[in-house]
Structure 1
């Protein structure tokens, strides 16, 4: 399977494998900088993989997903 991850990562990480990106610092993600790396390191998040597995991020993503489902199931008139 081939995936184009270039729209998710900084130019230095374009063309890299998922494993390489997961091992990279959070600033490998488009929109994050080395200053974000420093702030996240205080939370023991030193890689993209750490960020993706961080329980608070996982919980937040679950809530976002559930909110979309809840809105889609809301009865008419609410």
Structure 2
């Protein structure tokens, strides 16, 4: 199972919330993502929540390509 330090990836207000709440949070709950960024993601891809971003096919494709690149090194 993968471990993640939520303090490093979430804004302070979200770091102690249950996972189900974090997944339903606006993408601006992610550290470094602004409300404006969230609005642009919603406009471009229909992404409203952290879960939406994680499920976005373009994000998954990019992650797969990066994993593939690491597997051939």
TM-score (ref. length: structure 1) = 0.83
Gaps of 5+ in 1: 72-78
Residue deviations 1:12-56, cap 9 Å, x none? Answer: 101011111110010100110000111011110000000000000
**Equivalent-residue separation in structure 1 for 2:25 and 2:4 (angstroms):** 18
Aligned alpha-carbon RMSD (Å): 1.5
After TM superposition, which residue ranges in structure 1, 4 or more long, deviate above 6 angstroms?
A: none
Equivalent residues in 2 for 1:34-73, closer than 5 Å: 34-42=35-43, 43-71=45-73
TM-score (norm 2): 0.88
Which segments of 5 or more consecutive residues in structure 2 lack a partner in the other structure? none
Query: Which protein shows a greater Rg?
Result: 1
